[in-house]
Amino acid sequence: MGFPGGVVLKRGAGRYGMGALAVLALTLAVGGCGGDECVDAFDCRDKGAPPEGQAYVCTADNTCELRNLTPVPEEDAGTGTDAGTTTDAGTGTDAGTTTDAGTGTDAGTTTDAGTTTDAGTETDAGTTTDAGTETDGGTQLCGGPVTCRDQSIDELSLRTNIATGSILEEGTTQGQFFTYLDGRAGGLSATQSYTYARFTPTGLVKVEIDDQSALASTAWDIAVRRSVIRVNSGVSGPSCVTVAQTAEGTTFDAVTSVEPTATFLAEAYFTPNTCELILDGSGINSPGTALATFWRYNNCLVMTDKVFLLQLADGRHVKLQVASYYEPAAQAQCNTSGTLPAVTGSGQYRIKWAYLP
């Protein structure tokens, strides 16, 4: 008999578990079709062991290629949503603020920035770095296994069923996209996986993958579920999608390029080595993701209109702004009065984004 809403795979009783569940085998990849050589990096294992400092990835053309590994620093543990704000856990409004998270990866993207690391060189501490492991400074390298995997599954209630939510382009204009992402995940209790997507020149495209498989997949760039948005890097996934924040008050149209001073950070909502969950400071036990400051709490999720910069695994940059978390009319009411109508449509994102030169 299956478990409703997907299975939380973990070693012991989880924070959000419903009792001890049997440990299930994780399916890392789904077999390809036609003449495809691969659908993710796992399919490239027949190529043999890669040279030091390199790893096989599955490209968008479904072929296995060697890529150079690039170090990506973990995000500062102190980042997150507006620290000090607390939610009224007893309110009855549909704030849509159930915590949940997921992580994953799949092939199809390339390593970041075009620079190469010598995986056989020694770190400052005199230890030899190994592709995919953490250095003494806690730096997660691209292309390797995700650290704190068991803690992610347990603490963030990662599922094994694929989300049914859709992704649609609404009102796309020249060079700019306005995308709808359904992150409802079955309701406030989030019985489904995150909705995963990748950026393409024609818009955001859904990646059909579950939370636990996504922990080993580079096919996705961004994922949404309830009030949490994650990107594929650091403790969230083995790709190299990193995030920088623009100055307070920066408008979307004002961002036309990436400033040289922009600092891009990987997901780091677990502490290095000890794997303790770092919360966003909102009071609802959400992970402190790199995009957590897209909202602040005032009896409902008020949009901050913050503009984020994303560096994708192929080195391209995207500017992104979350326009709404509720249905547009409900979001406008929340933003202006801190109240919500009876029907809110929570977990249904509208995101404005565009590639940067």
> Could you tell me the pTM of the whole model?
0.63
Question: What is the structure's pLDDT at 23?
Answer: 32
Per-residue pLDDT tens over the stretch 304-339? 999 999 999 999 999 999 999 999 999 999 999 999
- Residue 125 vs residue 323, higher pLDDT: 323
Token pair of 126, please?
């005199």
Spatial distance between the Cα atoms of 46 and 166, rounded to a whole number of angstroms: 34
Residues 123-148: what's their mean pLDDT? 50
Smallest CA-to-CA distance from 237 within 353, 121, 103 is with 103
Residues 158-187: what's their mean pLDDT? 94
Question: What is the structure's pLDDT at 56?
Answer: 61
Spatial distance between the Cα atoms of 290 and 76, rounded to a whole number of angstroms: 9
Residues 191-215: what's their mean pLDDT? 97
Smallest CA-to-CA distance from 243 within 216, 268, 263 is with 263
- Residue 102 vs residue 351, higher pLDDT: 351
Contact 191, 4 (CB under 8 A): yes
Binning pLDDT at 50, 70 and 90, where does residue 303 land?
Answer: very high
Binning pLDDT at 50, 70 and 90, where does residue 51 land?
Answer: confident
Per-residue pLDDT tens over the stretch 56-66? 666 666 677 77
Binning pLDDT at 50, 70 and 90, where does residue 287 land?
Answer: very high
Question: What is the structure's pLDDT at 120?
Answer: 38
Residues 75-101: what's their mean pLDDT? 40
Degrees, nearest 5: CA angle 137-258-56: 55
Category of 275 on φ-ψ map: left (φ > 0), alpha (ψ -120 to 50) or beta: left
Spatial distance between the Cα atoms of 230 and 221, rounded to a whole number of angstroms: 9
Question: What is the structure's pLDDT at 99?
Answer: 41
Give the CA-trace dihedral at 137, 140, 146, 152, to 10 degrees: 60
Q: Which of 5-19, 60-74, 198-212 has the lowest mean pLDDT?
A: 5-19
Residues 89-93: what's their mean pLDDT? 39
Binning pLDDT at 50, 70 and 90, where does residue 36 land?
Answer: low
pLDDT at 115 over 60: no
Question: What is the structure's pLDDT at 65?
Answer: 73
Residue ranges covered by each domain of the chain: 1-33+71-114+127-357
Residues 286-315: what's their mean pLDDT? 96
Q: Which of 1-5, 70-74, 213-217, 269-273 has the lowest mean pLDDT?
A: 1-5
Question: What is the structure's pLDDT at 175?
Answer: 87
Bridge partners, residue 279, by sequence: 287
What value does the mean pLDDT of the chain take?
A: 75
pLDDT at 262 over 70: yes
pLDDT at 124 over 60: no
Instruction: Tell me the residue type at 192.
Output: Q
Positive/negative CA dihedral, 299, 250, 171, 311: negative
Per-residue pLDDT tens over the stretch 243-259? 999 999 999 999 999 99
Question: What is the structure's pLDDT at 307?
Answer: 98
Residues 72-80: what's their mean pLDDT? 40
Residues 272-301: what's their mean pLDDT? 92
Question: What is the structure's pLDDT at 281?
Answer: 86
Percent of the chain with pLDDT over 70: 62
Contact 142, 67 (CB under 8 A): no
Token pair of 299, please?
């009896």
With helix as H, strand as E and coil as C, how does the chain read? CCCCCCCCCCCCCCCCCCCCCCCCCCCCCCCCCCCCCCCCHHHHHHHCCCCCCEEEEECCCCCEEEEECCEECECCCCCCCCCCCCCCCCCCCCCCCCCCCCCECCCCCCCCCCCCCCCCCECCCCCECCCCCECCCCCEECCCCCCCHHHHHHHCCCCCCCCCCCEEECCCECCEEEEEEECCCCCCCCCCCCEEEEEECCEEEEECCCCCCECCCCCCCEEEECCEEEECCCCCCCCCCEEEECCCCCCCCCCCCCCCCCCCEECCCECCCCCCECECCCCCCCECCCCHHHEEECCCEEECCCEEEEECCCCCEEEEEEEECCCHHHHHHHHHHCCCCCCCCCCEEEEEEEEEC
Question: What is the structure's pLDDT at 171?
Answer: 82
pLDDT at 152 over 70: yes
CA end-to-end span of the chain:
52
Smallest CA-to-CA distance from 352 within 185, 194, 230, 175 is with 175
pLDDT at 226 over 60: yes
Long-range CB contacts for residues 33-38, cutoff 8 Å, separation at least 24: 36/62, 37/62, 37/63, 37/64, 38/62, 38/63, 38/64, 38/107
pLDDT at 176 over 80: yes
